[in-house]
Structure 1
Amino acid sequence: MVENEEDGGSAQMTLDPRIELEAERIAEALVFASAQPVSEGYIAARLPQGADVRRIMMRLKSIYAGRGVNLVQVADYWAFRTAADLSFVVQADENEVRKLSRAALEVLAIIAYHQPVTRAEIEDIRGVQTSKGTLDVLMEAGWIRFRGRRRTPGRPVTFGSTRDFLDHFGLEELRDLPGLEELKGAGLLSGRIPANFQIPVPLGDDGFGDDEDPITQLDLEELGLLPPSGGDG
């Protein structure tokens, strides 16, 4: 391991090239062996001391960029996925998530772009009531989650999207969601939309706002969203 002095004055550790290559192979194997995206923290804990996990993953990402499978980033998680232009050759699985109804797609889009958002806020944006069944379908798909509770009367539950949502739709982070012009180009918005219509730029979904508290197990039990813990079983 060699110490390099950068122009900025801070010393950085550089691994021996053989150790660096071994770290790259370990990271590649860890992601390949997992059916779910693997966190950088999990990878870093298993690499040689001093290995720069982000640099290693970005190098692997570039290596796989032109292959049949790509190494993709989902927030700070990593996974191998079939190259987008080859998806047509992969047979659809019978257990594929069922096609969403128009209502479910609308609710999913509202949650993705407006999170954290309450059920009442979803209904206000859509202009119609949202059934519990619609939310249940999105929960079962693993694309939305109970996120927190708003600090307003009644303390309504807020909803947010999940890492599985990003993974399924090929997004690294929420900021990669398509903007207004992209949605128009895809035909998902009609030409006759209000002049002041805007699509919000999604913020990260990890932090909580000043008017929001994290949701707890007790909250979910009180709301009837989970069976009570404890008891005789």
Structure 2
Amino acid sequence: MAETDRARRGKGRSDDHLFDRELDHLPPAVRWREWMNRVEATIFAASEPVGRETLARIVGKSCSIDLLIDDIREELRGRPYDLVAVAGGWKHLTRPAYSDAILTAVGGNERAVDLTQSEVLVLMYIAYFQPITRGELSSFFGKEISRDLIGHLRGSGMITSGPRSPTPGAPYTYVTTKEFLLQFGLKTLRDLPELEALEDAGLLNRHSPTADAMLIGATTDEDGEGDDEALSA
């Protein structure tokens, strides 16, 4: 049994060794094309965005992944889909111009998350001010944010529990997830619109509730407690 395990491990190392990342035997132009094909095929086959570290395993050490991506995107310029940086990696996504045709042919995206306006507003505040507690969210909106609302955002995969707050009672905080980035087409949180621009447009106010925020139909907990508890994971 031990010899079999060692043989399997040895075979795995041998297989890794046989994979030629560098392709030094190929002319530069042919080598570059093969790297492009490897990268595009890997991203195409993946169900989730593929990160830089993963792609680095299939191309030469001196290869610029960013330049490869640029060349692939250039070739896709006239196609109905593109290679998009999202959620910390790259993913094939159809272009917005064809959304109506896709919806008519095959229906909506099964990954699409159905959120109410109230939930979107709360999610927006979490995205900008994370990690944030339910009590702090309630202060922003001037009324209690229900556990049901937070629970739906958690169930949709948009948020998860963050570190405990250093405030009395050490309540849970909430943070956005990779799924949030994917749903909103963001590479990182740095790609969120500038906070000042949203404030200037009256869409968000870090100091007091907006008029839209008052639409939230959240209810106070029956036990009257604040943010000292969160929904279980």
Q: What's the TM-score, normalizing by structure 1?
A: 0.67
Look up the match of 1:35: 47
CA displacement, residues 19-70 of structure 1 (integer Å, 9 cap, x when unaligned): 2221111110000001211111111122233322233223323433442001
CA displacement, residues 87-131 of structure 1 (integer Å, 9 cap, x when unaligned): 111123384645322321121111111112111111111111111
**Does residue 25 in structure 1 map to residue 32 in structure 2?**
no
Moved more, 85-94 or 113-122: 85-94
Look up the match of 1:178: 193
Matched residue SS, 1:103: helix
**Does residue 154 in structure 1 map to residue 178 in structure 2?**
no
Equivalent pair of 1:19/1:48 in contact (CA under 8 Å): no
Look up the match of 1:123: 138
| Cα distance change of structure 1 residues 32 and 126 upon mapping to structure 2, 3 Å threshold | same
CA distance in 2, matches of 1:126, 1:75: 28
**Does residue 87 in structure 1 map to residue 70 in structure 2?**
no
Aligned-residue offset at 1:171: 2.0
Superposed CA RMSD in Å reads 3.2
CA distance in 2, matches of 1:182, 1:62: 33
Matches within 5 A, 1:191-206: none
**Unpaired runs of at least 5, structure 1:** 2-14, 200-221, 227-233
Larger Rg: 2
**Does residue 59 in structure 1 map to residue 71 in structure 2?**
yes
Equivalent pair of 1:65/1:71 in contact (CA under 8 Å): no
| Cα distance change of structure 1 residues 182 and 116 upon mapping to structure 2, 3 Å threshold | closer
Residue identity over aligned pairs, in percent, reads 28
CA distance in 2, matches of 1:31, 1:39: 9
Matched residue SS, 2:182: helix
Runs of 4 or more consecutive aligned structure 1 residues displaced over 6 Å after TM superposition: 182-185
**Unpaired runs of at least 5, structure 2:** 1-21, 211-228
| Cα distance change of structure 1 residues 66 and 125 upon mapping to structure 2, 3 Å threshold | farther
Larger RCO of the pair (alpha carbons < 8 Å, separation 6+)? 2
Q: Which has the higher strand share?
A: 1
Look up the match of 1:68: 80
**Does residue 77 in structure 1 map to residue 89 in structure 2?**
yes
Moved more, 106-115 or 156-165: 156-165
Aligned-residue offset at 1:184: 7.5
Matched AA of 1:104: E
Look up the match of 2:232: 225
Q: Which has the higher helix share?
A: 2
Look up the match of 2:115: 100
Q: What's the TM-score, normalizing by structure 2?
A: 0.67
Equivalent pair of 1:74/1:163 in contact (CA under 8 Å): no
Matched residue SS, 2:152: helix
| Cα distance change of structure 1 residues 184 and 85 upon mapping to structure 2, 3 Å threshold | farther
Matched residue SS, 2:70: helix
